[in-house]
């Protein structure tokens, strides 16, 4: 499996400028949300009859495709296990799951590329 830095460079190399700006804006918002919610979980006793059914509910899912048909999918999920609820982000590149470091590397590459033009 490739390193996340190489994946970020490869994905962005084959992407047009308008899509790069859209991805950059989305990742900036996602980064703020992730920093606020990464270690947040809470207990709720609201739905006692559903407590045996762990579930994940997608909050938002975004998909980005570059000119080489490489696909980046980022899903924000709210999960529930017993009485505990929490927040999670799943990142997929060409249907392989990666951790949040791929988002960080994409942000670094995009900041360097887009802000150098300004």
Question: Per residue in 38-61, pLDDT tens?
Answer: 777 656 656 555 555 555 566 789
User: Quick one: pLDDT at residue 115?
Assistant: 77
CA 13 to CA 99: how far, in whole Å?
Answer: 21
User: Which of 97, 73, 93 has the alpha carbon at shortest distance from 11?
Assistant: 93
Q: Please name the residue that has the structure tokens 């989305």.
A: 26
User: Which of 100, 93, 94 has the alpha carbon at shortest distance from 76?
Assistant: 100
The residues spanned by each domain of the chain are: 4-117
**Residue 65 confidence (pLDDT) above 90:** yes
The crossing angle, in degrees rounded to 10, of helices 101-117 and 4-13 is 40
Q: Which of the pair, 77 or 55, is modelled with greater confidence?
A: 77
């Amino acid at each position: 499996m490739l390193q996340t830095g190489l994946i970020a460079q490869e994905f962005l190399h084959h992407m047009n400028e308008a899509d790069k700006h859209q991805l950059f804006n989305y990742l900036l918002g996602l980064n703020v949300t992730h920093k606020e919610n990464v270690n947040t979980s809470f207990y709720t006793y609201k739905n006692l009859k559903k407590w045996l059914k762990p579930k994940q509910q997608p909050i938002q899912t975004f998909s980005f495709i570059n000119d080489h048909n490489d696909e980046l999918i980022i899903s924000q999920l709210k999960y529930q296990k017993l009485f505990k609820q929490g927040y999670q982000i799943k990142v997929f590149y060409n249907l392989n799951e990666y951790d949040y470091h791929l988002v960080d590397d994409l942000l670094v590459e995009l900041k360097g590329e887009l802000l150098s033009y300004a």
